[in-house]
Structure 1
């Protein structure tokens, strides 16, 4: 795919990239920076995109790599805070919105590796294989993280999440 083709298609993925940046960083300004850096790197490395593969998965991989290599180290050194989970989910009065906020609060307390994996598989609907490629871990690690996250959430007496059990990897 050419640089120009990627440039035209990248806009449709910006909200999803920003949401993933926010899940990783918990900060709106850092999410903005991650998305911008992802777009720049994608355009610089357009020749590395494999035609026939999914552009969104490639962009998620780039964003994740940037987070791991640059932003996370800077945030840890600076000791900057996090966005409150209520800001991520918005405010709503419906029973479903309240339940969603409750689930998000509990998911946000999971260890980072589990939280990121839950987001990619259950929110972004990546297959186990795709999530393993984005996170640069074996597929078994993705499955283990999800199983541990489901167990942790199921043992939380305040909530019984309705997270679907996956019947195998959808490749």
Structure 2
């Protein structure tokens, strides 16, 4: 194995937590996210010689993952994404924990109901902390499109969360 290939593999391994998080953001379910991650890693390892050293590996991998996700969706005609698994929250009393879980369920459902292009941009900016320019490069879309999609995603999330809150209050009364 060449020194370049070894360095590439080491950097790829260091990206695994971020890649898992992005796969889960795209797929919404752990089983699909793992399939997506494996597919993207396989493509990257098979085509590592096509990686340009002057480019960021994370951007290259996010693009591969997005393309793999599109391919998986086309090939398997999957149904819309499902919410993430429940997370545990610590609180002083049961009410606080229940409220936090309700809020997380609403946020996960709102995120899952976003259009795929909005979900992708939001995940890269919010979860991965990429700049708008980095997202533009990773997804091969204009900077204005990144900003537009992000704005629409945030607006849609706010509207969906507001509806969930209103429905909860209405149900309680």
User: TM-score, with normalisation over the residues of structure 2?
Assistant: 0.75
Unaligned runs of 5+ in 1: 161-171
Contact 2:83/2:112 (CA < 8 Å) preserved in 1? no
Q: Which has the higher contact order (CA 8 A, sep 6+)?
A: 2
Counting matched residue pairs gives: 155
The alpha-carbon distance between structure 1 residues 39 and 154, as it changes in their structure 2 partners (threshold 3 A), is closer
Contact residue 34 and residue 67 of structure 1 kept, 8 A: yes
Q: How far apart in 2 are the matches of 1:149 and 1:155?
A: 10
SS of residue paired to 1:2: helix
Query: Whole-Å Cα distance in 1 between the matches of residues 4 and 21 of structure 2?
Result: 26
Partner of 2:57: 55
Shift of 1:30: 2.4
**Structure whose residues are more often helix by fraction:** 2
**Structure 2 runs not aligned, ≥5 long:** 166-173
Normalised TM-score (structure 1): 0.75
**1:73 pairs with 2:77:** no
Task: Give the root-mean-square deviation of aligned CA atoms.
Answer: 2.6
C-alpha separation in 2, matches of 1:152 and 1:32: 27
Residue aligning to 1:90? 87
Matched-pair contact (CA < 8 Å) for 1:113–1:145: yes
Structure with higher Rg: it is: 2
Which structure 2 residues correspond to residues 97-136 of structure 1 after superposition, within 5 A?
97-98=100-101, 99-136=103-140
CA offsets 1:97-126 (integer angstroms, 9 cap, x no match): 544443333222222211111111111111
Deviation at 1:73, TM superposition (A): 0.5
Match of 1:3 in 2: 5
Q: Could you tell me which residue of structure 2 aligns to residue 13 of structure 1?
A: 15
